[in-house]
Structure formats: C-alpha cells, structure tokens
Amino acid sequence: MVWGKSIQASKLCAAFHLLFSVSMKYITVHSRAPLWRCVATSLLGVGMLLSAVHAQEIDEVVLIVDDIAITQHEFNVLYFIQAQAERFEPVTPDLSSVATESIVDDMLLTAHARRIAPDATVSDAQVEQAVASLAGRNQLSADQLRNQLQIKGVDAKIFESSLRQRLLVQQVIGQRIASSVNVSLTEIEEYIQNRPELRDQARKTFRASHIVISLEDGLSKRKKKKRAKFAEELRARLLAGEAMAALANEYENVSASGDKGDLGWKTADDLPELFVNALDNLRVGDVSEVLESSNGFHLLLLTDMQSASSAPQEYLVRHIAKGVQEGTDGREQAAFLQNLKYQILAGLDFGAVAQAQSDDTGSAPGGGELGWLQLKEIDPNFAGAIQTLEAGEISDPVRSSYGFHLIQLLQMRDVPGSVTLESQVQQRIFAEKLDEKMQDLLNNLKQSSLVEVVE
C-alpha cells in the first residue's frame, strides 16, 4: 500500500461531495508491544520508498489497519496531507483526532480499490493535477506547497504517492458507486415540494419597463380624469410598438424609470404589490392595463420573466434596422419594413435584404445577424418582440430607442453554464445517495477489519 491510502474521494473530486464521518468506536487502543516493531512498514507496495529515504531511522508503529502498520513518520505525512485537504492548520499530529478517522477511511478504501481493480493505475499527470488542486485550495502555488512540505520535513515523493492513492479510490470506487446512483424526476419534484425554502427560491423574477403619468397634489377630479384618459392613449401607442422612453421624452408630465424605462430584474419583494399583481398576469411582451396609485397612473411592459427553476435563455437573431430622425414619428420607416417583410415571406432571402437595406452597418454585412443575445442586454421592446417569436418567424416592425426593426429569431437555447433549481436539487440528492453508499461500504469494510491505535 502507498503511504496513507487515498483520502476520501470527495477531497479530490468535488463532484462527489463525499463527507465521511467515522466513529472512533472502531479504533481500539493497545499498549505498544515488540511485535509491532517487527511489522513490515510497507503500505500497498511502496514501503521500500520510505525505507530508502529513512534507512537510518527506525520509527515506532502507531496505527495498524488489518495487516498494515503505519509508523510515526508515515502518520505525520498522512496527517499533513489531511490538513491540506481539509484546510486546517497542521499542528502536532494527534492519533485521537478526526483526521485520524479519515486516514483510516483512506487506508480501507485504498486496500479495497486494490482488491477489486489490481491493474488500475494513476498517471503522473493526474498526480500533478492533484498537487495543483490541493495547493489552490490553500491559496498556494504547487511550488509553494512543495516548499511547505520541505519545511515540515515531509518527503515530496511520499506525499505524491499518497495523492496517487486518493486518485485511485476516486477512479475505482468513486466512479463505480457514482454509476450506480440514479435520481428520478419524481424524487426531484418531491424534494422541492417538501422544502418550503426551496419553493421560495423558485419565485418569479421580472424584467419590465415602466412609465408614470404624474398626479400633482390637489389636482381636480376633472383634470385627474383627463390624465387617466391620456394614460389610456399612451397605452394604445405602446401596444402599437412605440418605445416607452420616446413617450417619456415627448411629454413633460410623463417620466420613465431607470434606464429608458427599464426597471431591470426585480423579484416580487423588490416591487410594489400593485406592480407584482399586474406583472403576474402578463405574458412577455404584454403591456399592463393603466394602474393607478397615489402619485400617478402607471404603465408596465413585461420584457422577460424567469424563475429559479427555469434556465435563462439566449437567442440567436438577425434584424433589418431603419433609423428614425429626431422629430419624426417613424411611420415611413415602419411601413417600409412592413413591405420588406411581405417580400421576404414571398421568397426574398432575409440575409440578402439585410445586407442591402439595413441601416445597422455593424450587422448588415453579415446578413443582419446579431449573434447570441440575452434579453437583459438589449432594448426592452426589442427583447419583448423576440420572446413572441418561434424559431424562423419574423416580427412586424418593432420600435426601439434606435428606430424600427424587422427581427427574425433563428434559434434559442439555455444560457451555457446556467444552473436551475431542478439541477441544484438533482446534484444534492445525488450527493446524498453517493455519500450513503460510500458510508455503507466503509461500514462493511470496518466490520471485517481490525483497526488499532498503538500506544
């Protein structure tokens, strides 16, 4: 066996999240006897390594697991490795510590791995990666970790041999157990249903644009009624595709929130109840009814909505853009684009039309393609239009802060690397099952093994 076996598979493979807790009842204490001084100190076949390094040093045996004896020097090395893995300060090694329990686990698991896969090997490159991983966990470089080894009198070759055994356990036992663990959709759903705190995490988050038609204190009923009618007129213009920011700039008593009306991403806790109730009943791209509060009449445009249980989306789109000069209503540009849409539907190529007609000089040469977009990164009206489209579909002319656009949705996908509530729960259940299976294996190994601390 190699010095000290393999530390729990989780220590070098976070994907397994193995957390072993071994009771000290499995470790019995005996008085030191001459017999143990005669026990060979090889650990899975590399005992000669320590003998070569410390040929003139005779260590006393301090720990026995079945027919394997560990000397004080070997134990000190293992204890230091355990300290690096669990990121605690390696003070004087203590045979009664929790670290000793983990060392015993490592020995049992490594011996078992050797029995079930005697031909399994771990490459030097894998060991080097493990050294770098341990160093990184302790905010050290690999060279700095090796310097610490030297300062503490730990032989680097013995240290790396122990890491090799950790990787062996991960490779042979960890992967075998992991392949036997399955998590069903029903288990995930029941897990979430039984934990209210997880349901809270799945609350909706909204992205919306907002304008308010203000109501001054002391405004007469007649003028207030007139403002309400004006708010309805603005709503009709929003439904027709005009931009909120443009409306806010047009009228003195109309103001837009945030960046050109964009409120950004908000949870229900971040918004007034009046807004939440309205947004909860909207689909993306919808405009709310006129909402009345003490300070004015409000209009909301829902541009996106997500929950922790749904991965954020990104969209591959292309467009044909027509700019609108300040002081004009853009009707001419909208009509021009509408006519282009009819021609494209009749057979013209969207990309070729974009190259010839789009005012967006950045995207026109590429057929109007804008690449993969997340809705939070773009104009709210543009974003709302995208979400109403199916793949391949072309929008009607859409008004943005730039001008008017024809938009074609090419593809949509989950944002790479995004994490959903379901995926988090799946990983948690997987880790719990894996831990349980690994603990069962350890318990079985202990029942058939003799573990002794010698004093």
The domains located in the chain, with CATH, are: 9-182+432-454 (1.10.4030.10), 203-307 (3.10.50.40), 313-414 (3.10.50.40)
Look at residue 258 in the predicted model and tell me its pLDDT: 60
CA angle 334, 336, 338 (to 5 degrees): 70
User: 215-233 burial, b if ≥16 CB within 10 A, otherwise e?
Assistant: beeeeeeeeeeebeebbee
Q: Which residues 6+ apart lie within 8 Å of 398 measured at CB?
A: 241, 381, 382, 385, 404, 405, 406, 407
Q: Calculate mean pLDDT across residues 390-411.
A: 91
For the chain, how far is it from start to end, CA to CA, in angstroms? 23
Question: What is the DSSP-derived secondary structure letter of residue 399?
Answer: E
Instruction: State yes or no: pLDDT of 389 exceeds 50.
Output: yes
Instruction: State yes or no: pLDDT of 190 exceeds 80.
Output: yes
Q: Calculate mean pLDDT across residues 103-116.
A: 85
Instruction: State yes or no: pLDDT of 40 exceeds 60.
Output: no
Q: Which residues 6+ apart lie within 8 Å of 131 measured at CB?
A: 142, 145, 146, 160, 163
Q: Which two tokens stand for residue 392?
A: 């391949």
Instruction: State yes or no: pLDDT of 289 exceeds 60.
Output: yes
Q: Which two tokens stand for residue 229?
A: 């009618």
Instruction: State yes or no: pLDDT of 48 exceeds 50.
Output: no
Where is mean pLDDT largest: 142-156, 321-335, 354-368? 354-368
Q: Which residue has the tokens 């076949």?
A: 45
| The model's pTM | 0.43
Cβ(368)–Cβ(441) under 8 Å?
no
